[in-house]
Every structure is written in C-alpha cells, then in structure tokens.
Amino acid sequence: MKVIHAIGSTAAIGVLALFAACGPQTESASFNLSREFVDSNLNGAVAQIKVLAQNVPADSLPRTFMDGASISSNTSWWTSGFYPGSLLYLYEYSQDTQLLELAKEKLALLEKEKRNTSTHDLGFILYCSFGNALRITGDTAAYRDVLLTAAESLSTRFNPATKTIRSWEGWNFPVIIDNMMNLELLTQATSKLGGDQKYYDIAVTHANTTMRNHYRADHSAYHVIDYNPETGDIIGRKTAQGALDESTWARGQAWGLYGYVMMYRETADSTYLDFAKNIEAFLFNHPNMPENLVPYWDFDSPDLQQDSPYAARHRTTRDASAAAILASALIELSTCADGDEQTDYLGKAERILQTLSSQPYKAEIGSNGGFILRHSVGSIPHGSEVDVPLTYADYYYIEALMRYRRLLSERSIF
C-alpha cells in the first residue's frame, strides 16, 4: 500500500483533492454532455442557491423544504456542511463573491463543531465545508487548524477492538456504511495537512473492516453492523433506513461506491478500486435499477410484498440524492479506468446528470424553497424527509457537474 506523505506548502494544500481524479483522463474518453449543458445547469444552480439563501435563518443551515416551509438544522446536524460546501463550489465556478461571503458566514457558525467528539459525521459537516474552503482559497491560516482539530475529534471514536469508527450512540457499537464518507477528512489531514499518521491509519483500518464485514458476497452492503466493543465480534447486521435488514438501501450503496473510489485515490491501493468496480457492477446490473438510473429508495422495494410495512406506500419512491452521489462517484471512477470501462462509467454518470437536470427532478428557479432537486428520500422507516428536496442531493449534484466540467477542461473541450 502506498502511504502518502505530508505536503507542507500552501500551494500543495490549495489543491486538496476534494474532486481530484484518480489520474488523467485518457484520450479514449467520450463526452456526451456539452459545455453548454454543464454551464447552463451550474448557472441555474447559482441562481437557485441565491433563492435558498433568502430562506435560511442567520443562525442555522438549510435542510429541506416541506409543505411550503423551509426546514433548517443546527450546526451539529449531519447535513450542516453541505450548504456552505455548495456555495463554495458555485463560487469556484462563477467567481461570484456574494456566494463566498454567504459561505463564510456559515463557516463561522460551523467552526465550533471541530471539537465535537459525539458524532462520526465530521467529514460531512466540516470537510465538505472547510475542506472546500481551503482547497479553493488556499487560506491555511483560516482553515487548516479547523480540519486538523476535526480529524483529532473524529479519531477519538475509533475502537481498536472493532477496528472501526463508532457511528451512533445507543445500540452496542454501531457502524453504518455512511461512515465511509467521513474517512476523507482523516486521509487528507495526514497527506495534505501534515497531521498525525494515525489519522490515515484509522481511515485505512476502518475501510478494510467495512469491506470485510459490511458487504455481502454480491457486493451489496448492510446499512448497520453492530459490534461488541470489547471483543470486536459482530452482534448483528441490521438496517435503520432501509426496508429490511437483508435489503439493499439505495443511498447506502451510493455511499459505499463513493467511499471506495475515494479510498483508492487517497491510497493508490488497487484493492479499493477493484472493490469499487464490484459495487458498481452490482448496482448497475441490478434488475431493479431503473432505466434513467435514479434508484428506488431501496433496491428491493419494487418486489416487497408483506415483508415490509413500507412497501405498499413507497414501493416506487425514487431517491434523487442517491443518484447524485452515484453520478459524482462514477465520474471519478471513470478517471481510474480506461477503454470500455471508462466509457461505461462516464456514460452512466452522464445519463444520471441528464435525468436530474430535467423534469420531474429539476426544480424551476424560484420554486422548491430554493433547492435545486426534487424527489429525494431521507428515511422512509422513520417517516422523515420522504419525497422532498435535500441539501446533500444538491451538493453532490453540483459536485458531479463540477467534476464533469473539470474533465472537459482537461481535455481542452472548453
């Protein structure tokens, strides 16, 4: 395994790999989306996020829009980093300083979470926000300490017996597949910010344990693994947001694909790349993957009968947030492949972006409370945020467009 050593220069830190590709796009890549398509949707996102900004209280972060009302969160809620992250991506695209100032206002609110040891979601909260801020501005004085302190806080949740980072309180020692998304904070803290090697080691250990224990033979993932914190033994394989313990919750599958592509980029360990390709193959060869590649909230939901109390009402509910995460992951995965594989991955991402950029998923500017996408799912079992816009759906949609735009630029298509 390749260990990436710390890089000390401000210039190097300024290119934090939030959407860095695995490698240069090969000449064999075929692009089916135009510059005009990408810019039109990013320009629309800029206009729409300014509508959203008008609905955001000064002391909170946007979460969703339901029944004609905007719903916000406090800074410790797991989605709090996505709005400033979206603002920063759109500032990067547009150079509209109003977006940067709006982001900085929310960063000032979020900074206190760097010492929050009660959550595993510091990657979502602080890396999607402060990580983007550091990458785009290069302001190490303002942002480096926040990220290193956050990495130290996250590392306190690692248990050597389970070889994982604890996700939630309660249960025994629960670890959810979503936690793969918080590992980038740890790897970057070591490799780009000069932080302790333990952060990188914890991320690798957690990813390896998740690969071993969270996944079935077909490369579908359980949502929750509950461990004995003393021995590391598995107590149960469960779900919290999927239809059944043995079903395939769509957003969890998307988290896993994105997470293992990221881990390959961060480590150059081909085990992660092979694993990501197997996850992708499971998802996109699944008989219940819709033609437009916006998945049902649970891949098993169309076939559920009496097994699940959610089947009758939500059998065909789609999750745009899962699709947006998949699109972003596939674009990066395409840069780790070549030939037919590369074309296949990029083509699927393009199809998702085309779908999300049109009706019924794309909201008209000025509608939807200022959120870009419609039809996402928070948690059907909890009756929470069902078929609504969600801040993280918008974030990963914007990220996917920005990643695609970068590839176009690298190929001199602009």
| Contact (Cβ atoms closer than 8 angstroms) between residue 183 and residue 120 | no
Kind of pairing between the strands at 164-165 and 174-176: unpaired
**What are the strands, taking DSSP E only, across 166-269?**
174-176, 224-227, 234-238
For residue 367, which amino acid is it?
A: S
Give CA–CA dist 83/109, Å, rounded.
12
- Cα angle for residues 184, 178, 4 (degrees, 5° grid): 20
CA dihedral 54, 89, 45, 368 (to 10 degrees): -50
Task: Tell which residue, 91, 40, 94, 44, has the closest CA to residue 365.
Answer: 44
- The helix or strand, by DSSP H or E, that contains position 142, with its residue range, turns out to be helix 140-155
The rounded Cα 183 to chain-centroid distance in angstroms is 11
Beta bridge partners of 362: 373
Tell me phi and psi for residue 387, to 5 degrees: 60, 55
Distance CA 322, CA 86 (A): 17
Identify the CA nearest to 349 among candidates 97, 135, 38, 92.
38
Residue that has been written with the tokens 């300014």 in this structure:
50
d(CA 400, CA 115): 30
d(CA 349, CA 130): 26
- C-alpha 260/C-alpha 280 separation (Å) is 11
**From the centroid of its chain, how far is CA 62?**
17
What are the catalytic residues?
121, 178
Residue with tokens 């590369």: 342
